[in-house]
Every structure is written in C-alpha cells, then in structure tokens.
C-alpha cells in the first residue's frame, strides 16, 4: 500500500526544474539537505517554494499602486462620516458599556 501512495504522489509531480550550479554551491546545498535529513531535490524544492511564497506575500502587501493607493490614503486621512447604522451601533455600545 505504501508503494501505491508513493506512485500516486509521484504522478502529481509532472513538471521539472533545472539549474546549473557551481561545485561549491552544490556542496553547500547538499550539506544543508543532509543536515535537514532530506535529499538535495527535496531541499531545493522546499527552499524555492518557501522563498517564492515570501516574495509573493511581500509583493501583495506592498502593491497598492496608483489609484488604489490614493483611494486608501484618502480613506485614512478623510474618513466618511458615520451613517445611521454606525451611529446606532455606537449608541448601543455606549449603553452596554455604561459610558
């Protein structure tokens, strides 16, 4: 049954990545993989995935461009007046908190 599960996992990985590295880089990567108890391939894939996730997250956090950035800044600096629902909620909160 283990073999079937492994074959199923393997079949999902149908894309390849290739990279040329120096002997020094390969030795460093192999040493790090050994310290983690993984193969070089597993180490490289996991490290690349972690780095890619971080880059994408950082980009999304800092990607307010043009009009979107202006709208955000304007909303922070000039918030709209509270509507009736917001005023009612504030009154209820004040009453419940005894303020």
For position 48, which CATH number holds? Answer: 1.20.5.780
Tokens 């880089």 correspond to what residue?
Answer: 25
Q: Structural domain tally of the chain?
A: 1
Containing domain of residue 57, as a range?
Answer: 2-97
CB 38 within 8 A of CB 27: no
pLDDT (tens, 9 = 90+) of the chain, 99 residues, equals 555 555 555 568 889 989 999 999 999 999 999 999 999 999 999 999 999 999 998 887 766 666 777 888 888 999 989 999 999 999 999 999 988
pLDDT value of position 31: 98
Helices vs. strands in the chain: H and E counts, helices first: 5, 0
pTM assigned to the model: 0.53
């Amino acid at each position: 049954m283990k073999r079937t599960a492994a074959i199923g996992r393997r079949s999902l990985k149908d894309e390849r990545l290739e990279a040329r590295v120096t002997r020094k880089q390969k030795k460093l990567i192999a040493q790090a993989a050994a310290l983690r108890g993984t193969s070089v391939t597993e180490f490289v894939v996991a490290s690349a995935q972690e780095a890619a996730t971080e880059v994408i997250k950082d980009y999304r956090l800092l990607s307010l461009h043009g009009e979107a950035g202006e709208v955000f800044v304007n909303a922070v600096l000039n918030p709209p007046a509270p509507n009736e629902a917001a005023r009612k909620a504030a009154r209820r909160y004040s009453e419940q908190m005894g303020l």
